[in-house]
Amino acid sequence: MRRAARTVVAVLATTATLSFVAQPVQAHPQTKTLRSAAPRDLRIGTAVAGGGHHVEHSYPDPFTYDRPYRKVLAKEFNSVSPENQMKWEFIHPERNKYNFGPADAIVKFARQHGQAVRGHTLLWHSQNPAWLNEGTFTKAELRSILKSHIFTVVGRYRGQIQQWDVANEIFNENGEYRQENIWIRELGPGIVADAFRWAHQADPRAQLFLNDYGVEWPGVKVDAYETLAKELLAQRVPLHGFASQAHLSMRYGAPDQLAGVLQRFDDLGLKTAITELDVRMDLPEGGVPTAEQLTTQASYYKTALDACLAVDDCNSFTIWGFTDKYSWVPVFFPAEGAATVMFEDFTKKPAYYTLRDTLARARR
Ligand code: G3I
């Protein structure tokens, strides 16, 4: 299937360099949503809004209370990623207390709607609870805290998580291990291999991933991941995949080398995935994107999807939220926004239709 898709992409690229403006695929019942249009071996996912920046807003928890939101979530996607609800600060707020309710609700929703779940995340420098960041622990205690967290959380959802982002953002822009990462700083980089081993023991069927941003173009960060992946595989560590988050900005250009990056990891025998795609832009005065901006944004989304379609074992394509109503982008980048495929009222942008048409063509 994926080889066929690759041929389609290649043909489109040669016969119509601007394949992005190709004729829309005729509305067929099977191609009405992203999930129904997608090739059978490709999951189409979204982050499930909750926690994180949402806590600072006046609206109630989006996943729990926004019924139109839940309807679109169920209809359009066959994979979901808890945006914050499985992160340490959220799911493990006190040393001896876990808060599983919100994550349980997402996993249940996914089961009811035939969706896979991407677990996010187990070993990260950010969004760790105060008790961990500010506590005083021996190395042995820290190691045991991480091991016990992984066995508890991964074990709870055993058999229900398709892919886990085991190690998230472990390298900085220079390709060095991030010293802000408490686990790496205190226990050394070897802890990454242990995290994969523990996750695999806790759920042998889950596919275990390295996940990061800033790896959409070749460079030292991608090199660092390739070296690490080779080392882990040589040590028979259960590493199964490499994922590009793909938080894009129209300031920096389309991800036109992403397929090549993913292919390097596919060549190692790993699965690949796009896990957090969004495309932010500088908003004009008034905050409404121009038609031209929306067209450019759609082309970036398409380039990222084409990259995944072009690589055999890229089986999961996830956007980081589907509506601007709940996007993290304006919180972090105040001048930028409109990064998702739907406006705040869930009306669809050109990016949505471009993704759907591209998926439908690849499915044939
Ligand atoms: O923890 C502080 C708290 O001390 C402070 O008082 C409060 C007031 O501003 O902010 C709290 O931080 C918030 C944080 O979540 C922790 O809950 C940030 O403001 C808030 O913006 C943040 O948002 C989340 C962000 O991860 C944190 O890094 C977003 O909701 C979430 O979408 C985003 O997701 C990440 C992926 O997990 C990994 N890849 C990048 C992606 C985008 O940043």
CA atoms within 13 A on the CB side of 223: 7
pLDDT of 32 higher than 70 = yes
166 vs 239: CA distance, rounded Å: 9
Average pLDDT, the chain: 93
pLDDT of 234 higher than 70 = yes
Nearest to 242 by CA among 285, 279, 274, 220: 274
Q: Is the C-beta atom of 133 inside 6 A of ligand 1? A: no
Q: What is the residue with the minimal CA distance to atom 10 of ligand 1?
A: 53
Q: What is the residue with the minimal CA distance to atom 34 of ligand 1?
A: 83
CA of 332, closest atom in ligand 1: 21
50 vs 62: CA distance, rounded Å: 6
| Model pTM score | 0.94
d(CA 315, ligand 1 centre) in Å? 27
* Tens digit of each residue's pLDDT (9 = 90 or more) over 298-347: 999 999 999 999 999 999 999 999 999 999 999 999 999 999 999 999 99
What percent of the chain is predicted at pLDDT more than 90?
91
* Tens digit of each residue's pLDDT (9 = 90 or more) over 34-63: 999 999 999 999 999 999 999 999 999 999
What percent of the chain is predicted at pLDDT more than 70?
92
Residues 22/346, Cβ–Cβ less than 8 Å: no
Q: Is the C-beta atom of 327 inside 6 A of ligand 1? A: no
266 vs 131: CA distance, rounded Å: 39
d(CA 329, ligand 1 centre) in Å? 10
CA 315, 320, 325, 326 dihedral sign is positive
Name the CA dihedral angle for 163, 166, 169, 172, rounded to a multiple of 10 degrees: -130
* Tens digit of each residue's pLDDT (9 = 90 or more) over 186-219: 999 999 999 999 999 999 999 999 999 999 999 9
pLDDT of 24 higher than 60 = no
Q: Clarify whether 231 is annotated catalytic.
A: no
250 vs 81: CA distance, rounded Å: 24
Q: Clarify whether 276 is annotated catalytic.
A: yes
363 vs 55: CA distance, rounded Å: 39
Residue range 158-167: mean pLDDT, rounded: 98
Annotated active-site residue in 169, 186, 226, 292: 169
CATH (residue range 10-363): 3.20.20.80
Question: Which of 339 and 15 is assigned the larger pLDDT?
Answer: 339
d(CA 328, ligand 1 centre) in Å? 8
Query: What is the DSSP code (8-state) at residue 205?
Result: T
265 CB-contact burial (10 Å; exposed 0-12 / middle 13-18 / buried 19+): buried
Q: Where are the domains of the chain?
A: 10-363
Residues 79/115, Cβ–Cβ less than 8 Å: yes
